[in-house]
């Protein structure tokens, strides 16, 4: 089954404790991205990757890091989490020219992070 | 910067009626516009994509229009059912995909 898998689904942690949210897709997609979703603000892109070893900032990259060492994986790293990063996070992937908007995005089921 | 607005946060309709959602964009002329459905606690699911040279696109009970003059897309759910209750998101591209905040549709039986 084609899917985007995120882990963990839920996490409560404390300020400053480094954490990683993993994302993996099994569709051989080139394009992957991370979004955060907050009430009233919609989905905002954090980082995206056009292919292996190619990443770029989205709208709200501050406080986040990503890497793309393999095509299928795109982890999101919070080096020193803060309470304003409490949010619902989604990973998405799409084929080829996803960044150009002509391909559907496939989303994971989300990771709810609470930073205390 | 580009901006995308869905001009209704919530829409409540009676089963069997048509729901019409609006998506407006400014400061950009996208070549494509997409619509997604999101259920509580789940990721968005792709529904339809419409190109700038397509005026209308249909999929079962769903219909999307794209008016590049008005800078607007309309999303219609005809013969609505309670199972259509969800949040619907529009999105368009520039160098990345930008999403609206969504409209939550509730269909009453």
Residues in chain B within 8 Å Cβ distance of A33: 96-97
Residue A11 has pLDDT above 70, yes or no: yes
> CATH code at B87?
2.60.40.10
**Number of domains into which chain B is organized:** 1
- From B17's Cα to the closest Cα of chain A, the distance in A is 27
Task: Provide the strand spans (E) within A1-116.
Answer: 4-7, 10-13, 19-25, 31-38, 42-51, 54-57, 65-66, 76-78, 87-94, 106-107, 111-115
Q: Please report whether residue B107 resides in a domain.
A: no
Q: Please report whether residue B29 resides in a domain.
A: yes
Query: In this predicted model, what pLDDT tens digit does every residue of A54-83 receive, in sequence order?
Result: 999 998 999 999 999 999 999 999 999 999
Query: In this predicted model, what pLDDT tens digit does every residue of A93-114 receive, in sequence order?
Result: 998 765 566 888 999 999 999 9
How many contacts (CB atoms, under 8 Å) link A and B? 68
Q: Please report whether residue B88 resides in a domain.
A: yes
Q: Please report whether residue B108 resides in a domain.
A: no
Q: Which domain holds residue B36?
A: 3-101
């Amino acid at each position: 089954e084609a899917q985007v898998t995120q882990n963990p689904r839920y996490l409560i942690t404390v300020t400053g404790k480094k954490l990683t949210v993993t994302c993996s897709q099994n569709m051989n997609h080139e394009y992957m991205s991370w979004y955060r979703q907050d009430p009233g603000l919609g989905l905002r892109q954090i980082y995206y990757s056009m292919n292996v070893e190619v990443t770029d900032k989205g709208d709200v990259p501050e406080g986040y890091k990503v890497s793309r060492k393999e095509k299928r994986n795109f982890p999101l790293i919070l080096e020193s989490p803060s309470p304003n990063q409490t949010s619902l996070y989604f990973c998405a992937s799409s084929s080829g020219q996803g960044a150009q908007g002509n391909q559907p995005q496939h989303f994971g089921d989300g990771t709810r992070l609470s930073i205390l | 910067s580009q901006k995308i607005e869905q001009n209704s946060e919530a829409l409540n309709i009676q089963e069997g009626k048509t729901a019409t959602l609006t998506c407006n964009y400014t400061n950009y002329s996208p070549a494509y516009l997409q619509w997604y459905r999101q259920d509580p606690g789940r990721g968005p699911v792709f529904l339809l994509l419409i190109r700038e040279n397509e005026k209308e696109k249909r999929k079962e009970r769903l219909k999307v229009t794209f008016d590049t003059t008005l800078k607007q897309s309309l999303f219609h759910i005809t013969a609505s059912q309670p199972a259509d209750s969800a949040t619907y998101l529009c999105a368009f591209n520039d160098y990345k995909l930008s999403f609206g905040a969504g409209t939550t549709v509730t269909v009453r039986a």
